């Protein structure tokens, strides 16, 4: 009896994962992985005979479920911003001097994580005569872009750039983050 309930729940999970894949929220490889994990763990959950078997199936199932919901939420935000980018790009193609569309495109690109293109679009909007708010965002994003690309350590507290190899901030005296080549590779 419990095995049948597990198979029904596993099938429901597989259909949810396939729906997410068809909507473009997750990649095909993630869909296969999630369907396999969800299905196997759901069947294992309902086929468990002891508390240890139940726990061994429940903990990964719960974490996989949290990952799936998180991916779905993040994916829905990403698809929203991608649609907004497409709309603003169409508006800019129709009227290249529309700095408001460039400003909104830059914000959507920034929210997608494409900082380089966001700074370029915001710079174009500022060059066309956008307001003070655009100039402020451009300054903030340009600083963020510079800090992202620099190899010198930057103080977390006062945001001062220090000399390469320094361990303490020369302005406030705080400990600087120590990065090796391996940690820079890990963080991208």
CA 155 – CA 175 distance, rounded (Å): 8
**pLDDT at 43 exceeding the cut of 70:** yes
Q: Say if residue 22 is exposed, middle or buried (CB neighbours under 10 Å; 0-12, 13-18, 19+).
A: exposed
The CB-side HSE value for 156 (13 A sphere, CA atoms) comes to 6
CA 32 – CA 39 distance, rounded (Å): 10
| The pLDDT value given to residue 182 | 64
**pLDDT at 95 exceeding the cut of 90:** yes
Quick one: how far is CA 4 from the chain centroid?
37
pTM: 0.55
CA 111 – CA 96 distance, rounded (Å): 22
Distances (CA, A) of 86 to 52, 93, 178: 50, 11, 40
SS3 of 68-99: the string is: HHHHHHHHHHHHHHHHHHHHHHHHHHHCCCCH
| The pLDDT value given to residue 142 | 92
Mean pLDDT (whole number) for 151-174: 83
pLDDT-derived band at 177 (thresholds 50, 70, 90) equals confident
| The pLDDT value given to residue 133 | 92
Which stretches does DSSP call E strand in the chain?
A: none
Q: Any idea where the domains of the chain sit in the sequence?
A: 1-74, 156-188
Look over the chain and give the mean of its residue pLDDT values, rounded to a whole number: 82
CA 48 – CA 57 distance, rounded (Å): 8
Tokens of 179: 């990065």
């Amino acid at each position: 009896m419990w095995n049948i309930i597990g198979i029904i729940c596993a099938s429901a999970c597989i259909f949810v994962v396939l729906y997410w894949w068809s909507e473009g929220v997750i990649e095909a490889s993630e869909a296969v992985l999630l369907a396999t994990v969800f299905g196997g763990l759901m069947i294992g959950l309902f086929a468990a005979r002891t508390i240890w078997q139940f726990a061994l199936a429940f903990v990964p199932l719960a974490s996989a479920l949290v990952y799936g919901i998180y991916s779905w939420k993040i994916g829905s935000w990403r698809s929203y911003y991608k649609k907004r980018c497409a709309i603003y790009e169409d508006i800019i193609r129709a009227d290249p001097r529309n700095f408001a569309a460039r400003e909104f495109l830059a914000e959507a690109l920034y929210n997608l994580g494409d900082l380089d293109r966001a700074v370029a679009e915001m710079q174009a909007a500022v060059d066309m005569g956008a307001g003070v708010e655009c100039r402020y965002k451009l300054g903030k994003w340009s600083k963020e872009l510079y800090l992202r690309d620099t190899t010198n350590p930057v103080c977390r507290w006062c945001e001062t750039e220090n000399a390469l190899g320094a361990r303490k901030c020369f302005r406030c005296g705080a400990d600087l983050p120590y990065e090796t080549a391996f940690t820079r590779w890990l963080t991208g």
